[in-house]
């Protein structure tokens, strides 16, 4: 089991304190699980107060003993009730009066926010969720190493997938076999998303027309799922010959998510689908060839759309009809939906340390999905590929 080194936590805290200073805040009060883990090395329930300068204060409601064991922070206190929160922070600040505090207003429940307003009367609360996401967007070498470890696991499992694919086998049975391999390799099971009401299963298997199904999930693919109560991922459809089998899965190591998609088929696909798959690979390769630090993510999004339109396939690119999404890549880390986002409206410029999943895909109604997804690291000179399994469409004889 890995524990985040204290120097890594201090580096992260320092980056937030720099941004707090620019916003003239007295501190940040954090409580979201992944933010707690990122800044404390522990995910135990409570609050983390990071002042504009100096050490931070981790106040833990449950489980205090685990927080002491897991976190590399110096100051950790048990939190018996919310009244104690105010006393801790006031004592921690001394004579410095609180005027402005940053909160995670993208995820903090309104009820909790109202209680903080009552508790800290006269204090102005400011949304710093965007700042936190921008800080987490740029990964350290410590974090990047976890993506590399996740890739090692993914490559071993990828090699075994063709053996699971048989005509007549339900998608859910294939998914269960892949899931078992990942769990035995240490997959945590949970794939965390920050966006409200977004959730995802860690392995999506969809074949033929099920690969064309979108859902509430902000993705061009979802699959049918087991029931309307879980309308995504594998369903009960049986695999059939000459149709695309999409396997969109996550490998996770120490919380860090590696997202990747590959297409398999039992017997050859149609010329139309193979042509679209080749175009998806070409879009990926052109984006990778052009990407450099300082380049706008929205420009790479436009490039992808233009390439799809140039081949007459823009109606099928990244979804079809109401299922079409307006992005081609998303940041990943401890959450699946991190910055940067490659879309028309994104403000992000590429910078070293960003890690993102690039996923050019085409959806053909009644036929299926073809495309691929790989994870890339932005370096000083361009992009480094972190998912190293082959890009080839895998055709299985039957």
CATH of the domain at 20: 3.40.350.10
Q: Which residues contact 163 (CB under 8 A, 6 or more apart)?
A: none
DSSP, res 259: E
Same domain for 181 and 78:
no
Q: Which residues contact 265 (CB under 8 A, 6 or more apart)?
A: 241, 242, 243, 244, 245, 393, 394, 395, 396
pLDDT attached to residue 238: 98
Same domain for 100 and 47:
yes
Same domain for 42 and 95:
yes
Buried b (16+ CB within 10 A) or exposed e, 148-176: ebbbebbeebbeebeebbeeeebbebbbe
Contact between 72 and 97 (Cβ < 8 Å): no
DSSP, res 263: E
Q: Which of 70, 101, 136 is the last residue of a domain?
A: 136
CATH of the domain at 232: 3.90.230.10
Same domain for 277 and 148:
yes
The per-residue DSSP string of 110-177 comes to HHHHHHHHHHTTTPEEEE-HHHHHHHHHB--HHHHHHHHHHHHHHHHHHTTGGGG--TT-BHHHHHHH
Contact between 324 and 361 (Cβ < 8 Å): no
Q: Give the CA dihedral 270, 280, 258, 220, nearest 10 degrees.
A: -80
CB atoms within 10 A of CB 21: 11
pLDDT attached to residue 398: 85
Give the pTM. 0.97
Same domain for 143 and 132:
no
223 occurs within a structural domain? yes
Task: Give the total number of structural domains in the chain.
Answer: 2
Residue 384: cis peptide before it, omega within 30 degrees of 0? no
Same domain for 324 and 211:
yes
Q: Which residues contact 119 (CB under 8 A, 6 or more apart)?
A: 82, 83, 85, 86
Cα distances (Å, whole numbers) of residue 388 to 248, 262, 263, 373: 15, 12, 15, 11
Closest CA to 53 of 95, 11, 102, 20: 20
Distance of alpha carbon 284 from alpha carbon 179, whole angstroms? 27
Q: Which of 81, 102, 136 is the last residue of a domain?
A: 136
182 occurs within a structural domain? yes
Same domain for 201 and 118:
no
Same domain for 151 and 184:
yes
* pLDDT averaged over 10-residue windows placed end to end, the chain, 398 residues: 95 98 97 98 98 96 97 97 92 88 98 96 97 98 98 98 98 98 97 96 95 94 96 97 98 98 98 98 98 98 98 98 97 98 97 98 98 98 98 95
Q: Which residues contact 126 (CB under 8 A, 6 or more apart)?
A: 23, 25, 100, 101, 102, 103
Longest dimension (CA), the chain: 76
Same domain for 168 and 130:
no
**Residue showing tokens 């994104």:** 346
1 occurs within a structural domain? no
**Residue showing tokens 């999905």:** 369
Looking only at the bridges linking them, the beta strands covering 100-103 and 27-30 are parallel
Distance of alpha carbon 145 from alpha carbon 61, whole angstroms? 31
Distance of alpha carbon 366 from alpha carbon 94, whole angstroms? 66
Beta bridge partners of 261: 248, 373
CB atoms within 10 A of CB 10: 17
In angstroms, what is the C-alpha Rg of the chain? 23
Same domain for 181 and 193:
yes
156 occurs within a structural domain? yes
Q: Which of 136, 166, 187 is the last residue of a domain?
A: 136
* Domain coverage including residue 34: 6-136
Same domain for 229 and 361:
yes
379 occurs within a structural domain? yes
Same domain for 272 and 381:
yes
């Amino acid at each position: 089991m890995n524990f985040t080194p204290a120097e890594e936590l201090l580096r992260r805290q320092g980056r937030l304190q720099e941004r707090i200073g620019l916003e003239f805040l007295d501190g940040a009060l954090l409580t979201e699980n992944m933010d707690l883990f990122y800044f404390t090395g522990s995910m135990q329930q409570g609050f983390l107060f990071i002042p504009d300068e100096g050490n931070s204060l981790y106040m833990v409601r449950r489980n205090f003993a685990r927080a002491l064991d897991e976190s590399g922070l110096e100051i950790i206190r048990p939190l018996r009730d919310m009244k104690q929160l105010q006393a801790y922070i006031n004592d921690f600040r001394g004579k410095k009066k609180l005027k402005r505090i940053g909160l995670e207003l993208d995820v903090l429940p309104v009820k909790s926010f109202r209680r903080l307003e009552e508790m800290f009367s006269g204090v102005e609360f400011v949304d710093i969720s965007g700042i936190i996401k921008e800080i987490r967007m740029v990964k350290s070498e410590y974090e990047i190493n976890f993506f590399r470890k996740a890739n090692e696991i993914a490559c071993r499992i990828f090699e075994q997938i063709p053996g699971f694919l048989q005509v007549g086998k339900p998608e859910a049975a294939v998914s269960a076999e892949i899931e078992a391999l990942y769990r035995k390799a240490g997959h945590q099971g949970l794939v965390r998303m920050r966006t409200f009401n977004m959730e995802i299963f860690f392995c999506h298997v969809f074949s033929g027309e099920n690969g064309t199904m979108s859902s509430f999930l902000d993705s061009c693919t979802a699959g049918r799922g087991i029931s309307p109560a879980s309308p995504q991922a594998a369903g009960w459809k049986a695999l059939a010959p000459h149709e695309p089998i999409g396997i969109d899965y996550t490998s996770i190591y120490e919380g860090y998510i590696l997202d990747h998609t590959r297409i398999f088929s039992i017997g050859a696909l149609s010329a139309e689908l193979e042509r679209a798959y080749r175009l998806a690979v070409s879009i990926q390769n052109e984006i990778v060839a052009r990407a450099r630090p300082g380049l706008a993510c929205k420009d790479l999004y436009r490039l992808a759309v233009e390439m799809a339109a140039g081949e007459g396939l823009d109606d099928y690119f990244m979804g079809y009809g109401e299922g079409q999404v307006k992005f081609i890549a998303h940041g990943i880390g401890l959450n699946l939906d991190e910055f940067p986002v490659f879309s028309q409206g994104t403000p992000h410029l590429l910078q070293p340390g960003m890690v993102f999943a690039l996923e050019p895909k085409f959806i053909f109604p009644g036929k299926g999905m073809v495309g691929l997804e790989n994870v890339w690291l932005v370096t000083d000179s361009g992009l480094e590929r972190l998912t190293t399994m082959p890009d080839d469409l895998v055709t299985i004889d039957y």
